[in-house]
Chains A and B, each alone.
Chain A
Amino acid sequence: RKEVEQDPGPFNVPEGATVAFNCTYSNSASQSFFWYRQDCRKEPKLLMSVYSSGNEDGRFTAQLNRASQYISLLIRDSKLSDSATYLCVVNSELSFGAGTTVTVRA
């Protein structure tokens, strides 16, 4: 089993829709989690950290479920500019998922 697994998608959603996806991890002792955004042929850019109590940053909400060992990202009111690949990372193992592709259409 891979250390970090993501649904690859793609998720094709209309503008204004809500989209959510998960990332599962195998090490129950993992401590720190992040979501990164990666545009085509560019480097990953930090989107947000994931805190135990869950956290929001504008239209983005990240949740951590330790019991089921997954983190989630929810994007509300999707914009065209949200089209990207979203990578989750379990920092304590420096393990990245393969990414979830989101395409927002007009």
Chain B
Amino acid sequence: ETGVTQSPTHLIKTRGQQVTLRCSSQSGHNTVSWYQQALGQGPQFIFQYYREEENGRGNFPPRFSGLQFPNYSSELNVNALELDDSALYLCASSLSDSTDTQYFGPGTRLTVL
């Protein structure tokens, strides 16, 4: 196992609600990246946090926001949920910057009704 954990494993929400997903990075890793993976698609990069600062962002609207804590764990927050937000949300931790190997957590499967 990678040592990256995510919670919750599954979540069901309704349109307009807000959700917070959590990720604990592998020991010694200070970088966390978040991805959204819709069914049949590859993971799409949402954003990356390095030492508590956002270090890059993909093509996602501002209602997708995040945090990284001093222990390098991270949160992904999504406001005003839409049906298309239904997906597997993956976090990946790495030792430093984007050129390092990423290790994925098991993901949170979000269903928006």
Contacts and interface: CB of A to CB of B under 8 A. Distances in A.
A44 B35 CA distance: 11
B65 interface: no
Interface string A1-14: 00010100000000
Contact of A32 (B99, B106, B107): B99
Interface residues on A, range: 20 to 34
B56 A94 contact: yes
Interface string B25-68: 00000000101000011111100100000001010000000000
B103 A42 contact: no
B106 A97 contact: no
B30 to A, nearest CB: 16
Given A43-B106, A43-B107, A44-B90, A94 B45 contact: yes
B7 interface: no
A25 interface: no
Contacts of A31: 99
